[in-house]
Structure 1
């Protein structure tokens, strides 16, 4: 009976014999034929290889570009990969033609699901579905094991290939599974409690001999890394608690504790005596600031997890920002650089596998993985040299140079996988995660601090910057130039709204501009010198400039969206009425640049990113839509920009406070600026100061999720300010509370 079953199994798994190849070729019109199904499998294998290569090379470009088409292509590749792999695996199971390479192809296909280190999740919602991904992965792995047990029973090369690739598959799939789980809200809340407990009392560290010093970072024991991050340690600790019943935390606060001897803190990094981190080896603090960014990134994660810090802790960080990062004249460059790297860590945590890959022991794991990859590729190559395709007499089985199509497909898969792995090792080796890991090891190991070769190696790695971290652009929108824009009714309708984001009338971006250095300087200088821990919506700047007190009415409107749009219209009016040229002073040109660029940037946020602004998102959208309707009515018959400005000048002179529309208010404000303030340079100084204060005013936000989502769209300048103000605990102040304004609540 047993012999009969083995005979039947071998018969079932034997290659399907095709008696008439010409008949087969005649039936190729139907994809259900054996050769048609084989052709589908081969094409899907090659297609998946290129999908993986694309995701690896372009996955991280999402944070460097706001291009809508690029995001669509990446989303398509990310989504298609799962369905293509599932469909190909199903075809392999149903195909009447049996090939010994099917399990090898299946292994490479499954590797594609977890191989893209640069994109583990496309959106935050993917992280919340980590259990779904894990169960799908387990089911596919079980299916893969069954497939290997049926196919591999005689060839040793095939067995070695399967074992090596299977180990690599398990490691990579596990990395992605744990990255998704770690970035989910539940896991984030659980894992960041230890940081929240530590930071809740960190400001009480009164044992600093000479007090807190924000330049030398003395007294700043912010966490960079600690031994407990090792997942092996966490498993051992969990087993210890389960077996020996670990003692409870101390009442009444029940805080989780850390062994301070094993901590790497900002203070220790700045106090390192090694030459690499000394004033001679790191004169501009660029290497040490990587660790500062990493420590601040951990604090920023507390915002996402819903933890809050005491006011004293925020005051200490505000002191670090104001008297440390911004202490020098060009300190805004350093502060912006620190925030840029901090947001890089945050992006990688939510959307890539780097936070999991760079856990303690990562180098050993990656070396073992690389070894298995090499062994798997060697075994696959050895298998191909002895491979004989089923039904090899069919001309379709070879290409003109007498090379088997199966061998060609497998070779393409191997080459693409080699390129993918080398590319990922390269980018991983020079990532900010690798840099902070090496620096912390350097601080921890005194023997490294006396080794010139290690210092040169770490210094070379840390000073390499392959690509810019973010898009570094200010997106622009002008209502005077785009109010007449009508969205395509073919794509923007009730039916298509179910499938794609809808464009609204008037929603047409102007060309984005590179983020001006002057804008960064003005914003950070205003933050340092002019404002405390409370912000107003431009009223402070107007009160400082005595000539502009009569403009305060434009800051006391029903919603902040109306304030932005009214001042934007007025600034656009001044831009065309009072253009600035080379004959004007440098100060006037700088004020003009700051005012116009920030005006159009905040108008862009109203039109395209309402969740980043203070008002309720739908209130912002509704006000914008109404402003477009009003603009079309107001500018009816105006075919050129000159005609619109002329009409604003004529209507604005005779408008009164009783006219409540956004367009009329904007025209009235613009005429006030031009006619009541005699000095042109003063007009642009008032507008520049106003927009600088307003962009700081709108930056604090409780909608942390919205900022996390915009990290995948090139990054927003407002998100950089939001991160900085979050650390400092700076909040906006509502000088007036209009009855129609809807206050936002925490959304994450």
Structure 2
């Protein structure tokens, strides 16, 4: 108990729900150890150091159990609730109102918002200290997102007013710190350690270990084995070293730094150096000057990457004729009635092996930020906000004033979300395979790369992160398998026809899709291959402008998934490195793009016209 893990209390959100088990285990351990200690105290000349270590270990384990309890869903959900507010005294106001009205005195109620409650907004670029202060403020305001708490229009108005005045880089840095603060709340002892009692208890625990070491050192070692003495010293210094490292990590954590802004100049200088080391950094990656996230791994607050999964490339690797040995194995598995299980596990493993990682680029984040900012400015009220966040591409297509996109509307409105993702993913890949597209201007090349990156990222989320996409995934697994089977059949047939020329992607586009696949095949199969081919042909009619349309549609598909997934699913990813989708989820909330906020009237007063 003394030398165990001290900084991290849980590795997953689900671990916090086991606080009661840890409490029972603590009681059992203390009881058992206490019984053994009591039985041996009469012949143990080191009973005082032993008792001190027992107390120190009990304190540490108790801290962890309390931290787990405070981070559990029930306790945390209760802690983020605001103080009970009965509102203005209705009975007294109505009594006055009735009195004046009976006296024929003009009277009415006025509602107003106290502007002093708003956070002061600093214009321009923010320094590291200011970024930390704002992140701490908004983390405290929005930590209720973790338990899907509703927020007032006042809170959304304040945060939207602030973030709409920030640039994309500062916003990303603030969101990064906010999510790290959320992580600390759920997976560390920060709530316990930052309390006055927690600081006192932590010092007592460290002092007990030091006192035990001192008493052991002064004790006569006669009769003790040399190896046992050396081992005991090693364990003592190991425990003290772990304690010192834990203290340092705790002292320089984001929560502690945020609470030390009123400290002495010397402390502020040290914190300034620390924040400078932990700052988010971009690095120029190529001759075009494209910047990618490159914070040193020791100072990273999240992974800063976008996992990529390409469905068509995966299908190409899986296609091809089966060998005689594989056919024989398949028949054996079918006879044993485990073929489906083996095939599914095989597909899952191959999917994981086909996931690649791409660093987040500054241009991509800037593009996502500007698209969400534009939507935020259009969301003037709750109804408009609901309409915008419920759009899965139609808002972009309806407001696309530079080109006619009505033919594309059915591919976002008339299909399920998971089908729409697969359709646009395959269509994006078919369009991207055209090498002539690379000769377009920088603007269209950027939009082309954005579309490709977000397309592969969303398909990765759909098939590899089911907890994040469970609210919108539908029958994604079945659609994946049906489309995979059709692609494999298509390529295996084409391989037996050597007169066919062109790449695999071009072969798909060569198929006549003048009739909808459902009209020819029926609706038993959920395959989206040739519907996607039809979409790709419609997109090609738009010329290079299709990339601007596609990139905007992909951001809308991304934001739709972010708004539909639950807060608990997002915070589960924080212990695994974090996802870009979680940043979009938090940014949308702070832009006011949520379907669960209420209009707020802060104060009510009775106006009497005399």
When structure 1 is superposed on structure 2, of 513-522 and 529-538 the one drifting more is 529-538
**Partner residue in 1 for 2:258:** 436
Deviation at 1:548, TM superposition (A): 3.1
Gap change, CA 1:376 and 1:132, over 3 Å in 2: same
**TM-score normalised by the chain length of structure 1:** 0.62
Residues 1:136 and 1:702: Cα distance change in structure 2 (over 3 Å):
same
The structure-2 alpha-carbon separation of the partners of 1:495 and 1:148, relative to structure 1 and needing over 3 Å to count, comes to farther
The reply to whether residue 418 of structure 1 matches residue 240 of structure 2 is yes
Task: Give deviations 1:669-720, integer Å, cap 9, x for gaps.
Answer: 112222x123x3x232222222122212221035222112222221010011
Task: Flag structure 1 segments of 5+ consecutive residues without an equivalent.
Answer: 1-109, 218-278, 390-402, 443-447, 734-748
Structure 1 counterpart SS, 2:248: helix
Q: Is structure 2 residue 415 aligned with structure 1 residue 558? A: yes
Native 8 Å contact 1:430 1:462 kept in 2: no
Q: Secondary structure at the match of 1:438?
A: coil
Question: CA offset at residue 431 of structure 1?
Answer: 0.9
CA displacement at 1:618 relative to structure 2: 5.3
Structure 1 residues 657 and 555, CA, compared in 2 at 3 Å: closer, same or farther?
A: farther
8 A contact 1:611–1:706 mirrored in 2 = yes
Which of 481, 486, 490 is matched with 2:313 structurally? 481
Distance between the aligned counterparts of 2:582 and 2:200, measured in 1?
36
Distance 1:196 1:517 in 2: 43
**Matched residue, 1:176:** 64
2:190 aligns with one of 322, 341, 354: 354
Aligned-partner Cα distance in 1 for 2:316–2:222: 68
CA shift, 1:117, in A, is 2.9
- Could you report, residue by residue, the CA deviation over 1:541-591 in whole angstroms, capped at 9, with x for unpaired residues? 23314243322221123310111110000111111114654x543222211
Structure 2 counterpart SS, 1:512 = strand
Q: Residue 145 of structure 1: SS of its match in structure 2?
A: helix
Where does 1:36-435 land on structure 2 (aligned, <5 Å)? 110-112=1-3, 115-154=4-43, 156=45, 158-194=46-82, 206-208=113-115, 215-216=121-122, 284-322=126-164, 324=165, 326=166, 331-382=167-218, 385-386=221-222, 388-389=224-225, 404=227, 406-435=228-257
2:367 is equivalent to residue 527 of structure 1? no
For residues 671 and 321 of structure 1, what CA distance do their matches in structure 2 show?
39
Change (3 A) 1:494 1:128: farther
Instruction: Return the offset for 1:208.
Output: 3.6
Q: Which residue of 2 aligns with 1:456?
A: 269
Whole-angstrom CA distance in 2 between matches of 1:313 and 1:732: 14
Change in Cα spacing, 1:152 to 1:469, as seen in structure 2 (3 Å) is: same
2:599 alignment counterpart: none
Is the 2:303–2:578 contact (alpha carbons within 8 Å) kept by the matching residues of 1?
A: yes
Preserved CA contact (<8 Å) 1:614 1:701: no
- CA–CA distance in structure 1, aligned partners of residues 143 and 549 of structure 2: 37
Helix, strand or coil at the partner of 1:507: helix
2:588 matched residue in structure 1: 725
* 8 Å CA contact retained: 2:470, 2:565: no
1:606 offset after TM fit, Å? 1.0
Map of 1:716 onto structure 2: 579
Instruction: Confirm or deny: 8 A CA contact 1:130 1:181 kept in the other structure.
Output: yes
CA distance in 1, matches of 2:468, 2:487: 24
In 2 relative to 1, CA 311–595 (structure 1 residues): closer, same or farther, beyond 3 Å? same
Partner of 2:542: 677
Distance 2:407 2:581 in 1: 29
Match for residue 515 of structure 1 among 357, 360, 366? 360
Structure ranking higher on relative contact order (CA contacts 8 Å, 6+ apart):
2
**What SS does the aligned partner of 1:117 have?**
coil
Q: CA deviation at 1:162?
A: 1.3
The alpha-carbon deviation at position 506 of structure 1 amounts to: 6.0
- Residue 424 of structure 1: how far off its partner (Å): 1.6
1:700, 1:731 within 8 Å by CA — same for their partners in 2?
Answer: yes
User: What's the secondary structure of 2:511's corresponding residue?
Assistant: helix
1:574 to 410, 424, 431: 431
- The alpha-carbon deviation at position 437 of structure 1 amounts to 1.8
Secondary structure of the 2:571 match is helix
- State the Cα deviation string for residues 73-94 of structure 1 (Å, max 9, x = none): xxxxxxxxxxxxxxxxxxxxxx
Structure 2 Cα separation of the partners of residues 527 and 313 of structure 1: 18
Can you list the C-alpha shifts for 1:137-168, whole angstroms capped at 9, x where unaligned? Answer: 11101111122222333555x22321321222
Tell me the TM-score normalized by structure 2: 0.75
Alpha-carbon distance in structure 2 between the residues aligned to 1:563 and 1:381: 71
Quick one: structure 1 residues 311 and 367, their matched pair in 2 at CA, closer, same or farther if it must change by over 3 Å? same
Indicate how the Cα distance of structure 1 residues 495 and 553 shifts in structure 2: closer, same or farther if over 3 A, else same. Answer: closer
Displacement of 1:412 after TM fit? 4.2
Q: Find the aligned partners of 1:651 and 1:337 in 2 and give their Cα distance.
A: 47
Q: Distance in 1 between matches of 2:345 and 2:14?
A: 17
For residues 731 and 193 of structure 1, do their structure 2 counterparts lie closer, same or farther at Cα, with a shift above 3 Å needed?
A: closer
SS in 2 for 1:513: strand
Tell me how far apart the structure 1 counterparts of residues 87 and 365 of structure 2 sit (CA, whole Å): 29
Q: Distance in 1 between matches of 2:162 and 2:87?
A: 15
**Aligned-partner Cα distance in 1 for 2:271–2:13:** 33
Give per-residue Cα distances to partners, 1:102-132, cap 9 Å, x unaligned: xxxxxxxx324xx423321232222112112
Distance in 2 (CA, whole Å) between partners of 1:495 and 1:167 is 56
Offset, 1:600: 0.4
Distance 2:345 2:243 in 1: 35
How many Å apart are 1:539 and its aligned residue?
2.0
